[in-house]
Amino acid sequence: MNERFLKACRREAVDCTPVWFMRQAGRYMQEYQAVRKKHSILEVCKTPELAAQVTLQPIERFPLDAAIIFADILLPLEPMGIRLEFTEGEGPVIHNPVRDRAAVDHLRVVDGDELEFVAAAIRQARRALAERVPLIGFAGAPFTLASYAIEGGGSKNFLYTKQFMYREPDAWHRLMDKLARVVTAYLRRQIHAGAQAIQLFDSWVGCLSPTDYAEYVLPHVQLIFTGLQREQVPLIHFGTGTSALLRLMREAGGDVIGVDWRVNLDEAWERMGFDVAIQGNLDPVVLLAPLHEIERRVEDVLRRAAGRPGHIFNLGHGILPNTPVESVAAVVDLVHKLSQR
Amino acid sequence: MNERFLKACRREAVDCTPVWFMRQAGRYMQEYQAVRKKHSILEVCKTPELAAQVTLQPIERFPLDAAIIFADILLPLEPMGIRLEFTEGEGPVIHNPVRDRAAVDHLRVVDGDELEFVAAAIRQARRALAERVPLIGFAGAPFTLASYAIEGGGSKNFLYTKQFMYREPDAWHRLMDKLARVVTAYLRRQIHAGAQAIQLFDSWVGCLSPTDYAEYVLPHVQLIFTGLQREQVPLIHFGTGTSALLRLMREAGGDVIGVDWRVNLDEAWERMGFDVAIQGNLDPVVLLAPLHEIERRVEDVLRRAAGRPGHIFNLGHGILPNTPVESVAAVVDLVHKLSQR
């Protein structure tokens, strides 16, 4: 098997920098669009054959160093009792947002049986991958899940979420604890089903002040990472807009910290310490730029990583729908070529 | 006149920390809503009596240390040839977005005659203020103005803006140069009309990587600050999500750098150096929290400022519409009381 990605997670020497992309199975690929024409996102997630098929699409097309199971970060909310829908264009909508203590009390702490379809998809994807590249499992982190559950969907200011935090700290911590326990069980099942690494997506945690992060988020994320430590697979801790949170995120846990483009990779790494691996950090919009601009920026990220062990090349967030397939191919090749040791 | 704010801008000793709020004249005040029931935002901006009246509303109600003229950051776009409309709920909409070189070439570099109504509003507000507190003028910074002009309104990913930057760098720099020259002339007129300090709002610049900021934004912002230096009024340089851009923003210019809540005030100040003043940085959502939480967070900001000369207390962004008036009053009093030297 191509071990580059797993080695980099453990900060071991590699022949060249491994690369994979968040949302590498996505709308920018015709193969994916063909599946989505016939099936909704939730249908694809819940049908192991389809989820495995979509997971493999980018692997068949590009020499990527890791696959990531096709799923959605919000899946654990459903069995907890949250009515989730993906609307065309609008993204996820939650029909019974969690806005008070009673709603938190009603949430079920499920152990993952209800998400067995993800484990099945992982088993199928592992078989189809046939040890070519490792398979990453993932889940949303408690804050990001809570923000969708409370806001009822995506948000700009996270007004309801922060108000809930400030006004009902006890209910907040209870909600975060329930989410952390569900996420831990869910990720453990993914690992037992064959996920060879795990990424925790705290996509929107960058909206918080460092003080609020430390008080309202960190302990719950720590619970997840502590709970998964004995599973012995690399754990990636990712967020966006986290420039001032990096030290705290590292404290919360993870063998690899994922950073977005809003901070220089070398500065981010130095701030966290070089004894943790780092993943990132090209702006996804760069993939819509002309090839010479893409090349210049890939070079810049690699130059800042300075060939240190423990860098995994990725975007700072998911691939955008209108990204040219050729640009994705070009970045994979550039990363491998320019980083050869 | 209450000189606290101007002294803090110059990093001189003050009896207690000065405080004002972005969007302190806004929908959270009934007095403002009463005016807006009869007039659109653009009508208020373009009618000096109304703009001055609204500017004074928070000054009559709270012991704030500065007034800020009521206007909109996008006003300079109109005389340049951009058709601007404020829709209820949706925010600003631009009917002829700038998407190519030809559109940039068509933009007029106006010298501010067309925005004379803002100068008139400043003169009226100064008279009405009768030297109680200083009056701040302001404008949007080139990147933030360009992002609205190119996207056609607000944006989440700044897809068109960044693509324009990456694909047509010459046209981008021409656009930024035109905007910088218009903004400089416009701000100079505000100063000549009586503005005693200036704030440049680069509200959305935090979406950029530090490398892109240095290349595509910094020189144009520098042009504005250099152009205004001889006017001898304090210049405030503000953005949000700028944790990793602070050193570059300082290099671009400003006597005071405005920071939001996503970075701790002490860390931000240390990173920039204590020989520049700092403004911020309470999360506006905190004003929707219970009083004891507000107090705890105001204390935290002041503790991080550590009584150093050159701190102006503010929010990290504008006051939110559903903010209780009592919370605004409480913060002003808390800042003054807790920071007494």
3-state secondary structure B186-203: HHHHHHHHCCCEEEEEEC
Average pLDDT over residues B153-179: 97
Q: pLDDT tens across A37-53, in order?
A: 999 999 999 999 999 99
Please provide the distance, in angstroms rounded to a whole number, between the alpha carbons at the two ends of chain A: 20
For B149, residues 6+ apart whose C-beta sits below 8 A from its C-beta are B77, B82, B94, B97, B98, B175
Mean pLDDT, residues B13-30 taken together: 97
> Is residue B296 within 8 Å of A174, Cβ to Cβ?
no
CA B273, CA B275: separation in Å to the nearest integer?
Answer: 5
* Contact (Cβ atoms closer than 8 angstroms) between residue A126 and residue A194: yes
Angle at the Cα of A169 from the Cα atoms of A168 and A175, rounded to 5 degrees: 90
- Residue with tokens 């062990």, as numbered in its chain: A309
Average pLDDT of the residues in B26-48:
97
Q: What is the mean pLDDT of chain B?
A: 97
**Rounded to an integer, what is the distance from CA A317 to the centroid of its chain?**
9
C-alpha to C-alpha distances, A175 to A154, A179, B123, nearest whole angstrom:
18, 6, 53
Query: Who among A159, A264, A289 is closest to B166 (CB)?
Result: A289
**Model confidence at A16: pLDDT above 80:** yes
CB A217 within 8 A of CB A177: no
Name the pTM for this structure: 0.97
**Subunit contact B166:A243, Cβ cutoff 8 A:** no
Cβ contact A159–B320 (<8 Å): yes
**What is the rounded distance in angstroms from the CA atom of residue B53 to the CA atom of residue B50?**
5
Q: Which domain holds residue B33?
A: 4-338
pLDDT digits (tens, 9 = 90+) for B201-249: 999 999 999 999 999 999 999 999 999 999 999 999 999 999 999 999 9
Measured CA to CA, the distance from residue A332 to residue A329 in angstroms comes to: 5
A125, A50 in Cβ contact below 8 A?
A: no
Instruction: Please give the tally of structural domains in chain B.
Output: 1
For residue A341, pLDDT beyond 90: no
Verify whether the Cβ–Cβ distance B264 to A211 is below 8 Å. Answer: yes
Distance CA A318, CA B263 (A): 24
Phi, psi of B274 (to 5 degrees): -80, 0
Q: Are strands A311-315 and B67-68 parallel, antiparallel or unpaired?
A: unpaired
CATH number at residue B78: 3.20.20.210
Distance CA A6, CA A24 (A): 18
Distance from CA of A294 to the nearest CA of B (A): 9
Residues 6+ apart with CB under 8 A from B181: B109, B223
* Complex ipTM > 0.85: yes
Predicted pLDDT of residue A87: 86
Summarised one tens digit per residue, pLDDT across range A109-134 is 999 899 999 999 999 999 999 999 99
Cα A7 from Cα A281, distance rounded (Å):
19
Closest CA to A23 of A63, A65, A71: A71
Average pLDDT over residues A251-264: 98
Q: What is the DSSP letter of B255?
A: S
Sign of CA dihedral B94, B99, B103, B105: positive
Beta-strand runs (E) in B64-147: 67-68, 84-87, 91-94, 135-140
For residue B163, list chain A residues with Cβ-Cβ distance below 8 A: 285, 288-289
Best of A163, A166, A240 to mutate (most B CBs within 10 Å, chain B): A166
Q: Do B262 and A206 touch (CB under 8 A)?
A: yes
Task: Name, in order, each residue with C-beta under 8 angstroms of B29's C-beta and a sequence gap of 6 or more.
Answer: B57, B58, B61, B325
Nearest 5°: CA angle at A134, between A129 and A135? Answer: 80
Distance of residue A297 Cα from the nearest chain B Cα, in angstroms: 9
- Is the pLDDT confidence value at B162 over 80? yes
The predicted structure's pLDDT at residue B148: 97
Residue B215 structure tokens: 């290349």
Residue type at position B340: Q
Q: What is the pLDDT of residues B267-309, one digit of tens each?
A: 999 999 999 999 999 999 999 999 999 999 999 999 999 999 9
pLDDT at residue number A5 = 98
Chain centre to alpha carbon of residue A329: 21
Helix axes B169-193, B218-228, angle to 10 degrees: 20
- Using one digit for the tens of pLDDT, what is the confidence trace for A307-328? 999 999 999 999 999 999 999 9
Contact A297 B211 (CB under 8 A): yes
Instruction: Work out the number of other CB atoms within 10 angstroms of the CB of residue A192.
Output: 13
Closest residue by Cα to residue A92 from A149, A47, A143, A45: A149
In A, what residues contact B, Cβ < 8 A? 156-159, 162-163, 166-167, 206-212, 241, 243-244, 261-264, 267, 283, 285-286, 288-290, 293, 297, 300, 320
pLDDT at B123 over 80: yes
Question: What is the arrangement of strands in the sheet containing A277-282, beginning at the earlier edge strand?
Answer: A67-68, A135-140, A197-202, A235-239, A256-258, A277-282, A311-315
Report the mean per-residue pLDDT for chain A. Answer: 97
* Residue numbers of A annotated as active site: 23, 27, 36, 72, 148
